[in-house]
Amino acid sequence: MSKLTTHVLDLVNGCPGREIDIQLYRLDADNPASRRLVASNQTNHDGRCDEPLLEGDAFQQGSYEIVFHAGAYFDALGDAQPEPKFLDQVVIRFGIADPEQHYHVPLLLSRYGYSTYRGS
């Protein structure tokens, strides 16, 4: 089934990244500096969103950005960080080339670094 999903793993605390606000933007093909909000969600107790970020007719070929509000997440845990935070919003820009496939974009997160990959 073609859809876009994500999840967050908190590498500092060794647990799912819970209650992290996420926005998904579609980039304008003619002007990549221009973007349009297409979905907004929050991770659940398992670090995943209850629903796909995109699916059905909304799941289209193109360039996208997912914005993860990492700074607010660590603040909510009481994890004081110097201001400005080294990582506040983590932005992952990626492309959907084949809307017939499932795209999964996970975030492995710490206060001072992150990684991502195309998951399954």
pLDDT number for residue 35:
95
16: which 2 tokens? 């799912």
Does the model's pTM come out above 0.75? Answer: yes
Question: In terms of C-beta density within 10 A (0-12 exposed, 13-18 middle, 19 or more buried), how is residue 17 classed?
Answer: buried
pLDDT at residue 1 tops 80: no
pLDDT number for residue 87:
96
* Domain spans in the chain, listed from the N-terminal domain onward: 3-116
Q: What is the mean pLDDT of residues 13-37?
A: 94
- What is the rounded CA–CA span in Å between residue 102 and residue 87? 28
55: which 2 tokens? 């699916």
Q: What is the mean pLDDT of residues 88-110?
A: 97
Per-residue pLDDT band for 43 (boundaries 50, 70, 90) equals: very high
Q: Which of 82, 100, 97, 92 is nearest to 116 (CA)?
A: 92
Q: Which of 90, 115, 89, 96 is nearest to 52 (CA)?
A: 96
- What is the rounded CA–CA span in Å between residue 2 and residue 19? 25
Residues 6+ apart with CB under 8 A from 54: 3, 4, 24, 38, 39, 60
- What is the rounded CA–CA span in Å between residue 23 and residue 73? 14
pLDDT number for residue 33:
84
pLDDT number for residue 32:
75
pLDDT number for residue 73:
97
Per-residue pLDDT band for 80 (boundaries 50, 70, 90) equals: confident
Q: What is the mean pLDDT of residues 9-25?
A: 97
CATH fold label, 3-116:
Immunoglobulin-like (2.60.40)
